[in-house]
Structure 1
Amino acid sequence: MAMEPQDIEELIRASFPEAKITITDLAGDGNHYSAEVIDESFRGKNRVEQQRAVYAALKGKMDGPAGELHALALTTKAPD
């Protein structure tokens, strides 16, 4: 089952309540999205640590072939 952009945002927002989050449906199919997550908690963390934190927030929705979310291009950073 495809995910809606607001579903992805809600999952991320639960872990990053103050973040600026932008979700874009790349292919219009509900399976290929990009997400930009800007949050102060990323300050001092490398990109891998930041992205792992966001993937953890997705609570397994991308896990394996049965995952609800097929692809997520992820950009993370601390605010300027």
Structure 2
Amino acid sequence: MDADTIARLIEQGLPGSKAHVQGDDGVHFEALVVCEAFRGKLPLARHRMVYATLGDLMGGAIHALALRTVTPDEAA
């Protein structure tokens, strides 16, 4: 698994989002996800939205994913 693939999956699963993913060991990653759909949602709900885009890859090909989830206003 690579960071570009994870970013693409997140962006496909959350239309209008922008994902910046880093990780160089192939199983541990960090992501900043900016998405308007996060507005009004608590961090846990935001994280669940991102995890849903990755499905079974979480806990498998992706061992760990540290998330920072923000709205466009929060990112500015």
TM over 0.5: yes
Q: Which amino acid aligns with 2:72?
A: P
The structure with the greater share of residues assigned to helix is 2
Moved over 4 A (4+): none
Q: Which amino acid aligns with 1:59?
A: G
In the alignment, what sits opposite 2:14? 16
In the alignment, what sits opposite 2:48? 52
Distance in 1 between residues matched to 2:17 and 2:52, nearest whole Å: 15
Identity of aligned residues (%): 42
Give unmatched runs, 5+ long, in structure 1. none
- TM-score in terms of structure 2 length: 0.88
Distance in 2 between residues matched to 1:9 and 1:79, nearest whole Å: 17
Pair 1:73 & 2:51 matched:
no
**Structure 1 position 17, deviation (Å):** 2.7
Distance in 2 between residues matched to 1:4 and 1:17, nearest whole Å: 21
Give unmatched runs, 5+ long, in structure 2. none
Question: How many pairs were matched up?
Answer: 73
When Rg is computed on C-alpha atoms for both structures, the one with the higher figure is 1
Q: Which amino acid aligns with 1:37?
A: V
- TM-score in terms of structure 1 length: 0.84
Q: Select which of 58, 62, 74 maps to 1:62.
A: 58
